[in-house]
């Protein structure tokens, strides 16, 4: 079964660095680039990272992404209260011939 696995929750204090993992397989992350989305409560998702580690214009450089093998990570440095949101990884899956989203990680800023 093709899935992208994220921890359901993560937390940190202001100024801290947090990372969110996304684990997949050879048919998705192992073969394709990973994109990350941020979804603030009650709003549409926002593209945060594309192509494993590229930031769209307007996304602060506090956000960074990386990929190794069949896993990817999103790192947020200098955590701010406005970073409290749900974060999703996504990658194409060759077995499904479709896009997979991770289950999402709810980030709480303590």
Instruction: List contacts with other proteins (CB under 8 A).
Output: 32-33, 35, 37, 39, 44-47, 49-51, 54, 56, 86, 88, 90, 92, 96-104
Closest distance to other proteins from the beta carbon of 12 (Å): 21
Count of CB atoms within 10 A of residue 100's CB?
21
Query: Which residue's CB is nearer to other proteins, number 99 or number 110?
Result: 99
Is the separation of the CB atoms in 70 and 22 below 8 Å? Answer: no
Closest distance to other proteins from the beta carbon of 51 (Å): 6
Degrees, nearest 5: CA angle 88-14-66 = 40
């Amino acid at each position: 079964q093709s899935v992208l696995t994220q921890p359901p929750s993560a937390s940190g204090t202001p100024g801290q660095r947090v990372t969110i993992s996304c684990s997949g397989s050879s048919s998705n992350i192992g073969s394709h680039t990973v994109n990350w989305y941020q979804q603030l409560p009650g709003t549409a998702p926002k593209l945060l990272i594309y192509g494993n580690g590229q930031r769209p214009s307007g996304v602060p450089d506090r956000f960074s992404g990386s990929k190794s093998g069949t896993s990817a990570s999103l790192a947020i440095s200098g955590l701010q209260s406005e970073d409290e949101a749900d974060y999703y990884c996504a990658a194409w899956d060759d077995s499904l011939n479709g896009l997979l989203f991770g289950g999402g990680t709810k980030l709480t800023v303590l």
